[in-house]
Amino acid sequence: MIKIIMTKMITSALLLFAVLASPQVMAAEAIESVRVWPAPDKTRIVFDLAEAPTHSYFTLYDSQPYRLVIDFHNTRNQVNLDALDFESLMVGRVRTSSPPDSSTARIVLELSDQVEPVIFALPPNERYGHRLVVDIPGQSVPEQRVTRSADRLPEREVIVAIDAGHGGEDPGSIGPSGVYEKNITLPVATKLAALINADPGMKAVLVRTGDYGVPLNQRTRVARGQRADMFISIHADAFTSPQPRGASVWVLSRRRANSELGRWLENREQHSELLGGAAEVLSSNGDDIYLARTLLDMSLDSSMSGGFDAANIFIDQLSTVTRLHSRQPQAASLAVLNSPDIPSVLVELGFISNPHEETQMRNSAHQQRLAEALYRGTREFFVNHPLDGTILANQTERQHTVKSGESLSILAQRYGTTVRAIQRRNNLSSTTLRVGQVLDIPIS
């Protein structure tokens, strides 16, 4: 009897050893998650792994769909790839396939075009572990185009570029409950774009339309490529303690502006991009470096002045829907504000590190109120700072939000009208104004 029991125990032990020794069980690595981010110029697929990846790959371009096959050696896949939710013009599907052996996890990317993939491993950082990054180059999201047809000339819409901060692998700041900044900035940017596009005098261009990263220097290039008249970058602030709160608006510091000016002067290929028609004057004068500096300096002064005026207007409008952290525009050395030809502002919607404001900012109704305040500010800026040839420049009236210390006589002088005309247009029985009051200003 004892002999039989011992035989069974030995047999069980041998079976257990065989199972544990199988290549699939002994696979040291594991694919723990997969993230897909379609962007305008590529689709990025990131594989999160427990250990540094050991991999090889090959392409199958003999028939459609075209395929990129990645073998993760000594690895098991723990991800349900059918649950991935993404829309890419370059990558139609991410799936598994039969591996060459039981210790390999084979992943197949079905592609719409024959391209050369870029594949590289990344070590752990403070946010992610080991990763294998796969970039599939090519236009992956529908292209945004701004058209100005001949039948709309000479009047045109003003173009507003809206930059939702962060995106993709860069989540931005993280709130106490785990909310990512990138998941607040994009909804507000999208709501703002919808309000602007509903206005017959304006057109919005979103720098990013989905959850993908855009390099800082490309954000302003997108705006310039779409001939934007204003650049608004949307963010949520954060601090090491939960106490700070409130919205703020930032503009470019003069120190950063001066350093950027030197860089632009050295890069002569950018002169035509930054100066538009003025570049022809520069070319006809033999690319005179002093003339270039004068033209760029004038352009920069104009855009910085416009950005500062816009920041003040946005602060006034935001104060009607949320608490302010600062009632004056703040200056900083921020890369997204360095356009010498486009008035640019960065709006901090509030502090995501503050539990109350984190809850507010993730609320759709509050996001809508913030977007409406930014829309009103944008419209007020272009009505009060009209651009020749635009629809808003030919408005029969302008709107003005009363600030502390302003009077009807001051407003009449500023807008080239009369006190009586403002009173008549707004049905005012006296000259008394209240801070925050919105007035229609007739244009003489």
Which residues span the domain enclosing 423?
396-442
Q: Which of 81, 113, 137 is the last residue of a domain?
A: 137
Domain assignment present for 198: yes
Residue type, 69: V
Taking each helix axis from N to C terminus, what angle separates 254-266 and 289-318, rounded to the nearest 10 degrees?
140
**Bridge-partner residues for 162, per DSSP?**
206, 232
- On whether both 401 and 349 belong to a single domain, the answer is no
State how far the Cα of 259 lies from the Cα of 270, in Å rounded to an integer. Answer: 16
Average pLDDT over residues 195-201: 90
Q: Which of 102, 137, 172 is the last residue of a domain?
A: 137
> Is it the case that residue 349 has pLDDT exceeding 60?
yes
Domain assignment present for 45: yes
- On whether both 165 and 133 belong to a single domain, the answer is no
Which CATH number covers residue 235?
Answer: 3.40.630.40
State residue 14's pLDDT score.
Answer: 47
pLDDT tens-digit map of 232-289: 999 999 988 999 999 999 887 755 444 443 443 344 444 344 444 333 333 444 444 4
> Is it the case that residue 155 has pLDDT exceeding 90?
no
State residue 259's pLDDT score.
Answer: 47
Structure-block tokens of residue 430: 């006296």
Average pLDDT over residues 47-60: 94
- On whether both 339 and 432 belong to a single domain, the answer is no
- On whether both 252 and 280 belong to a single domain, the answer is yes
- On whether both 245 and 122 belong to a single domain, the answer is no
pLDDT tens-digit map of 13-50: 444 444 444 444 455 689 999 999 898 889 999 999 99
State how far the Cα of 422 lies from the Cα of 425, in Å rounded to an integer. Answer: 5
Position with higher pLDDT, 200 vs 318: 318
Domain assignment present for 4: no
State residue 27's pLDDT score.
Answer: 53
State how far the Cα of 323 lies from the Cα of 116, in Å rounded to an integer. Answer: 50
The confidence band for 128, taking pLDDT boundaries of 50, 70 and 90, is confident
The confidence band for 300, taking pLDDT boundaries of 50, 70 and 90, is low
- On whether both 282 and 334 belong to a single domain, the answer is yes
Average pLDDT over residues 143-157: 62
Domain assignment present for 211: yes
pLDDT tens-digit map of 399-420: 788 888 888 888 877 776 778 8
- On whether both 370 and 416 belong to a single domain, the answer is no
Which CATH number covers residue 38?
Answer: 2.60.40.3500
- On whether both 199 and 133 belong to a single domain, the answer is no
Residue 395 phi, psi (nearest 5): -65, 145
- On whether both 375 and 426 belong to a single domain, the answer is no
- On whether both 353 and 416 belong to a single domain, the answer is no
Position with higher pLDDT, 323 vs 152: 323
Domain assignment present for 158: yes
State how far the Cα of 320 lies from the Cα of 327, in Å rounded to an integer. Answer: 12
The DSSP-derived string for 382-415 is HHHSPPTTBTGGG-SEEEEE--TT--HHHHHHHH
State residue 306's pLDDT score.
Answer: 84
- What is the residue whose two structure tokens read 């199988």? 22
Within a 10 A sphere around the Cβ of 428, how many other Cβ atoms?
A: 16
> Is it the case that residue 9 has pLDDT exceeding 60?
no
Domain assignment present for 427: yes
Position with higher pLDDT, 90 vs 266: 90
State residue 148's pLDDT score.
Answer: 53
Which CATH number covers residue 407?
Answer: 3.10.350.10
Domain assignment present for 16: no
Position with higher pLDDT, 4 vs 69: 69
- On whether both 376 and 415 belong to a single domain, the answer is no
Instruction: Say how many domains are in the chain.
Output: 3
Q: Which of 354, 384, 414 is the last residue of a domain?
A: 384
The confidence band for 135, taking pLDDT boundaries of 50, 70 and 90, is very high
Q: Which of 66-75, 224-233, 256-265 has the highest mean pLDDT?
A: 66-75
- On whether both 226 and 108 belong to a single domain, the answer is no
Domain assignment present for 42: yes
